[in-house]
Structure 1
Amino acid sequence: MRMIIIEAAMLAGVLATGLTVSQAALATPLSASIQAAATDPRADVKIDSKIMVERTEESETGEIVTKLVDPARVKVIPGDKLLFINAYRNTGQSTVTGFVVNNPVHAAVALIEVVEDWALVSVDGGKNYGKLSELSVIETAAVAVTEEETGDSPAPEQISRPAIASDVTHIRWVLASPIAPGASGELRFRGVVK
């Protein structure tokens, strides 16, 4: 199985106005991680990633319309909605099967939705994947101390709750259909700048 890892953190260009130099260095795109031999046809699938800012405006007719704007043309601020697009294309001569794309969600972004509802997500840093509705998150909660208690502080309590979209740390698309030579497609998700 070939996995491509895409760091949605090409966000550095998008959020450059709000990042320090050290943060920007950490947010630069990761190169694709290819876990296949050079002769493997999956190495011929190329991915081009981009981010667009979703801006809502009133049109000349008074209708509210959403436009996709190149982040280089606007200042991106907390609360802005972003559309992440991973366009793939099989540039080889062979059909590709077993293609997987993993996309970390940058810490500066809270996931809103994955457009392809068949995608899997992780809420634990990419260790485990599943449907969001099947995942849970463990949180540490402080335990209240009553007046009768003396001595040591109580141990924090571990509480499990259902995962929500903003808990997602990674997205995984496992393409069930083969990718024919010359075939292309897009994998997309939306987030909001924290």
Structure 2
Amino acid sequence: MSKIRMILLEAAMVTGVLMTGMSLSEVAYAAPLTATIQAAATDPQADVKIDSSIMVERTEESESGATVTTLVDPATVKVIPGDKLLFTNSYRNTGQNTVTGFVVNNPVHSAVIFTEALEDWALVSVDGGETFGQLSALSVAEATLETRPALASDVTHIRWILPSPIAPGASGELRFRGIVR
């Protein structure tokens, strides 16, 4: 039995929000967010619930001339290429048992260029989720059969292996940033 919990954002939802400017509620109605759990119902890991959200980072100049960055719900603005996004996976252990070895995998949609994971211990994949590691240790095969060091823009998936057990009632967030292509 796998101890991995996979979080998959449906392509229709992400594409709708990022490419058509549909509101998040309109897209959610058409294609609800799904989570695939690879754990038995009796496995304590099944008690860890995850809610995913996307916010648009907008930077503006305040009346005093200071630069202010705010997070905006994508349902309230049109998302366009070049917009900075903040993806958040909020987790909570709703069960009665401590959960150890919890893993979250998050694909990076092709309409998004990965820029960073906010947790420096997160692992990334540049090969569609086949292998994971620190970005600096990964490489990408070119069409010329040569390899080059992987770049943030090559990232296809992010993996968080929580380093600490999740106590009953405990919660936290796993975040990454990207830019709309």
Distance 1:46 1:7 in 2: 15
For the aligned residues, what is the CA RMSD? 2.0
Distance 2:83 2:10 in 1: 16
Runs of 4+ in 1 over 3 A off after TM superposition: 27-30
Deviates more, 1:9-18 or 1:65-74: 9-18
What is the deviation of 1:179? 0.2
What is the deviation of 1:177? 0.4
Which of 36, 42, 49 is equivalent to 1:39? 42
**Partner SS for 1:189:** strand
Query: Which whole-Å deviations, capped at 9, do the CAs of 1:23-49 have from their partners, x for residues lacking one?
Result: x8xx95662221111111110000000
Number of aligned positions between the proteins: 173
Quote the residue 1:179 is aligned against.
166
Distance 2:37 2:172 in 1: 19
Report the AA paired with residue 48 of structure 2: V
Identity fraction in percent: 73
Distance 2:31 2:137 in 1: 31
Deviates more, 1:46-55 or 1:2-11: 2-11
Residue 91 (1) aligns with residue 76 (2) = no
Which of 51, 54, 59 is equivalent to 2:54? 51
Aligned pairs for 1:133-152 (under 5 A) are 133-140=136-143
- Return closer, same or farther for 1:29/1:99 CA change in 2, 3 Å cut-off: farther
Distance 1:189 1:28 in 2: 22
Report the AA paired with residue 42 of structure 2: T
CA contact (8 A) 2:10 2:34 kept: no
Distance 1:8 1:103 in 2: 11
CA contact (8 A) 1:56 1:67 kept: yes
Residue 162 (1) aligns with residue 149 (2) = yes
Residue 125 (1) aligns with residue 112 (2) = no
Q: Structure 1: where are the runs of 5+ without partners?
A: 141-156
What is the TM-score of this pair, normalised by structure 2?
A: 0.89
What is the deviation of 1:58? 0.9
Query: Which whole-Å deviations, capped at 9, do the CAs of 1:170-194 have from their partners, x for residues lacking one?
Result: 0000011000011000000000000
CA contact (8 A) 2:114 2:153 kept: yes
Query: Which whole-Å deviations, capped at 9, do the CAs of 1:3-60 have from their partners, x for residues lacking one?
Result: 22232754245225269xxxx8xx9566222111111111000000000000001112
CA contact (8 A) 1:6 1:101 kept: no
Q: Max radius of gyration: which structure?
A: 1
- Return closer, same or farther for 1:52/1:81 CA change in 2, 3 Å cut-off: same
Q: Structure 2: where are the runs of 5+ without partners?
A: none
CA contact (8 A) 1:100 1:172 kept: yes
